[in-house]
């Protein structure tokens, strides 16, 4: 196949900023989103409509969504845990939703305060509302390799949850290395298992990069025809409920890796550099 096109899903404004110790201002978040859109990112997860009691960093989700720059070729998506989040996100102008659960029961409990099965139940009204508004829904599977509380997760658990999300109507399943310690071997085995049920065209990979193997893991996924990858500007990110997790693979790093290997992304490296420098300037060190 001569198709060398890869889609990058920029999660920096959400995954990147949710884990910052300081609270980034709404104006700075909007600036970051604008710079990313200007660099040619076509899918940006702009915020999360989650409980501010759980993630204070995303408490301004309504203002961010309402003011986020629009673009003809830009899809502005948001993370939602439940019906309440879905309704508010759509009212504020979200163009795509992303629901999130886990292949690990412990992580589901810590992150969303319910079981995996309960999370799937909660997504039923989310799917209904999205469909009524003509929005597509992505589904995340956290802990696709390891759980911060349980350790290694069996590939079968990842496949089972992925199938659950597909059966609900998610158009894309993002398998996530939440703590970023997956090796290429284990990523390959996990993907092989999931691919027995879900086609590569429906899969995305969301690699955190604690062990600095994310780009090798991207290559493993590319070999299996997966062509959608999440990344965050400047490599910011992590999950407040996943202790020890580093940021997502950096957008600049994955884009230059892909371009070097002859893949096209539609992203302008010069514009991206500006967005990444700005993202890094938002980090608070104290
Ligand atoms: P809960 O406490 O079990 O639920 O939280 P609740 O229904 O009792 O609600 C508690 C309060 O939150 C109530 O307010 C609700 O109204 C409010 P109160 O009555 O006490 O004033 N609430 C909401 N507020 C705003 N938006 C909402 C919403 N829902 C309820 N949508 C809940 C359950 C799921 C809400 C909570 O656990 C939560 O928000 N968790 C989100 C945690 C999170 O955002 N984690 C980071 C993102 S996931 C991630 O990073 C992984 C990922 O990147 C992939 C990977 O790397 O693995 C995606
Ligand atoms: Mg993440």
- Could you count the other beta carbons within 10 Å of the beta carbon of residue 108? 24
Residues of the chain above pLDDT 90, percent: 93
Quick one: tokens of 270? Answer: 């010069």
**What is the pLDDT, as a whole number, of residue 2?**
56
Contact 43, 75 (CB under 8 A): yes
Q: How far is the CA of 51 from the centre of ligand 1 (A)?
A: 4
The β-bridge relationship of strands 151-152 and 146-147 is antiparallel
Mutate to test the pocket of ligand 1, among 15, 17, 51 (most ligand atoms within 8 A of CB): 51
User: Mean pLDDT over residues 214-218, rounded?
Assistant: 98
Kindly report the number of other CB atoms within 10 A of residue 227's CB atom: 18
Asked whether residue 11 carries a pLDDT value surpassing 70, the answer given is yes
Q: Residue 149: phi, psi to the nearest 5?
A: -105, -30
Q: What is the pLDDT of residue 1?
A: 46
Under a CB-based contact definition with an 8 Å cutoff, are residues 222 and 205 in contact? Answer: no
User: What percent of the chain has a predicted confidence (pLDDT) above 70?
Assistant: 99
- pLDDT at 286 (0 to 100): 36
Contact assessment for residue 92 and residue 61, using Cβ atoms and an 8 Å cutoff: yes
Record the tokens describing residue 55, joined without a space: 């993630």
Please state whether the predicted TM-score (pTM) of the whole model is above 0.90: yes
CA 42 – CA 57 distance, rounded (Å): 24
- In tens, the pLDDT along 72-120 reads 999 999 999 999 999 999 999 999 999 999 999 999 999 999 999 999 9
Cα–Cα distances (Å) from 250 to 182, 210, 277, in that order, read 16, 12, 12
Rg of the chain, C-alpha, whole Å: 17
For ligand 1, atom 11: residue with the closest CA: 51
Closest listed ligand to the CA of 141: 1
By alpha-carbon position, which residue is closest to atom 31 of ligand 1? 85
> Which among 58, 151, 162, 149 is positioned nearest to 116, based on CA atoms?
162
Question: To 10 degrees, what angle do helices 155-168 and 184-195 make?
Answer: 40
């Amino acid at each position: 196949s001569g198709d060398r096109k890869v889609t990058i899903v920029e999660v920096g404004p959400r995954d990147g900023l949710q884990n910052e110790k300081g609270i980034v201002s709404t104006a700075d978040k909007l600036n970051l989103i604008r710079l990313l859109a200007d660099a040619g990112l076509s899918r940006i997860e702009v915020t999360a409509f989650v409980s501010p009691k759980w993630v204070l960093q995303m408490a301004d989700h309504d203002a961010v969504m309402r003011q986020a720059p629009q673009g003809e070729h830009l899809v502005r998506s948001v993370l939602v845990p439940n019906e309440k989040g879905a309704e508010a996100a759509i009212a504020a102008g979200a163009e795509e939703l992303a629901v999130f659960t886990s292949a690990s029961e412990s992580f589901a409990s810590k992150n969303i305060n319910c079981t995996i099965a309960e999370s799937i139940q909660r997504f039923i009204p989310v799917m209904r509302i999205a469909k009524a508004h003509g929005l597509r829904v992505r589904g995340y599977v956290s802990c696709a390799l390891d759980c911060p509380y349980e350790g290694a997760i069996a590939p079968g658990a990842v496949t089972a949850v992925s199938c659950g999300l597909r059966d609900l109507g998610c158009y894309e399943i993002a398998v996530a290395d939440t703590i970023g310690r997956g090796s290429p071997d284990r990523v390959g085995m996990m993907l092989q298992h999931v691919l027995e049920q879900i086609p590569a065209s429906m899969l995305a990979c969301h690699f955190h990069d604690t062990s600095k193997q994310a780009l090798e893991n991207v290559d493993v996924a590319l070999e299996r025809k997966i062509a959608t990858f999440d990344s965050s500007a400047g490599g910011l990110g992590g999950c407040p409920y996943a202790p020890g997790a580093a940021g997502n693979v950096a957008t600049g790093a994955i884009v230059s890796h892909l371009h070097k290997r002859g893949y096209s992304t539609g992203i302008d490296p010069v514009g991206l550099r500006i967005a990444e420098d700005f993202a890094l300037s938002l980090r608070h060190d104290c």
